Amino acid sequence: MRIGKTEYRTVWWEKDQLCLINQPLLPHIFEILRISTYQEAARAISEMTVRGAPAIGATAAFAMALALFQGEDPKIAAQVLGQTRPTAQDLFYGINRVLQAMERGEDALEVAQSLADEYVQASRTMGLLGASLMAQGCRVSTHCNAGWLATVDWGTALAPVYRAQHQGKNPFVWVDETRPRCQGSRLSAYELLNQGIDHRIIADNAMAYYMSRGEIDMVMVGADRIALNGDVANKIGTYSSALAAHAAGVPFYVLAPMTTMDPQCASGEDIPIEHRSEEEVSTMFGWCDSTGRMEKVQIAPPNSPTANPAFDITPAELITAIITERGIVAPSRMEALL
C-alpha cells in the first residue's frame, strides 16, 4: 500500500534481511527496521513492532529462514518464536510451514516468500468479496487495525474498504481508538488517511452510541484465531462491538485468511488468551510536541494494579458471516472449508 508516493509491504525480504515497518512509532515516525537474526524477529513480534495475525505469520516464516542462515537449530528457533504471541494462529502456521519444508529439504526462504505472497492474494480476494456487500456510501465500523499493516498488503477487515474506494463507492469508516495500544487511532487512521478515505476516530465506548443512532451500516473486523465452530478470537473489545451490533441489528463480519483457522480448537473456550504487560494500561505512548520525540506518560495511579487481556472471544452466534479467500460463509460452516 501507499505511503506518500511509495508502495510498501508490511513485511518483506531484502538483501538477506527481514524488513519490517516499525509500527509503534506510527503515525508520527515512519521507520523501516532491518532484522538479521531470528532472535531479533522474535523480539519484534513479542514487542509488537510487527502485529496482526497474517503479518506475524509472514514474519515468523522469514525468521525461520534467518535461523537457517545463522546456522541455528530450526526446532529451537521454532520454540522461541512460538512463545511470542500465543493467541495468533498464523504465528504457528508460519513457523510450522517453513519448519516442515526445511525437514523435506526445501528452500526455507522460498517457502517464506511464497507464504507472504499467498497472504497478499488472500487479502485481495477478501477485499473483493467484502466490497460486494457494501453499498454506495457504506458506513463501516472497525476495531483495532486489520488493514495492510496487520497483514502483508491490503489487509483483512480494511481490504473491502480499499476495494470499495477503488470501485467509486465512497466508503466511510468509524475508527475506534482500541485501547490500550490504540491500534485504531494510530494505525487504521494512518492507513485511511494515506489512502484518502473519509473516516472519524472515536473513543472505544462511543461505538454503541453510533450504532444506536443508525449511523453504522456494518461492522468488519479481523481475527487472530478461529475455532472450528466459528467462535473468533480478536483484539479485546471485539466482543463488546459484536454485542452492540447484535442489539442494534447491524451486520457483523469477520475477515481472515484460512490460515487463521485452528483445526485443534473446537470452540472459543479452547483458544489461549494472551495477557500483556500492566504498563500498557497504566501508561500512554505517543508524540510529545515539546520534546520532539516519542514519550511515555503515566495516566493511572502508579500503585494501582491493572489487568490486560489482549484478546476476547466473539461467539459464532453474534457473527453474521466469516469472509475468507474461499468465500463468505456462516460461522457454522467454517469447518467445511478445511
Residues with catalytic roles = 224
> Cα–Cα distance between 246 and 228 in angstroms, integer?
22
| 98-106: long-range contacts, CB 8 A cutoff, minimum separation 24 | 98/60, 98/61, 98/64, 98/65, 99/64, 99/74, 99/75, 102/64, 102/68, 102/74
How would DSSP label each residue in 52-89? SHHHHHHHHHHHHHHHHHHT--HHHHHHHHHTS-TT-H
- The DSSP letter of residue 193 is H
CB 219 within 8 A of CB 251: yes
DSSP state, residue 188: I
In sequence order, what are the beta bridge partners of 66? none
Q: Name the grid cell of 279.
A: 504498563
What residues contact residue 171 under an 8 Å CB cut-off, 6+ apart?
A: 134, 137, 138, 139, 140, 161, 164, 165, 197, 198
Q: Is the dihedral of CA 160, 164, 165, 167 positive or negative?
A: positive
Q: How many whole angstroms separate alpha carbon 143 and alpha carbon 151?
A: 15
Distance (Å, rounded) from C-alpha 235 to C-alpha 221? 9
Neighbours of 222 (CB within 10 A): 30
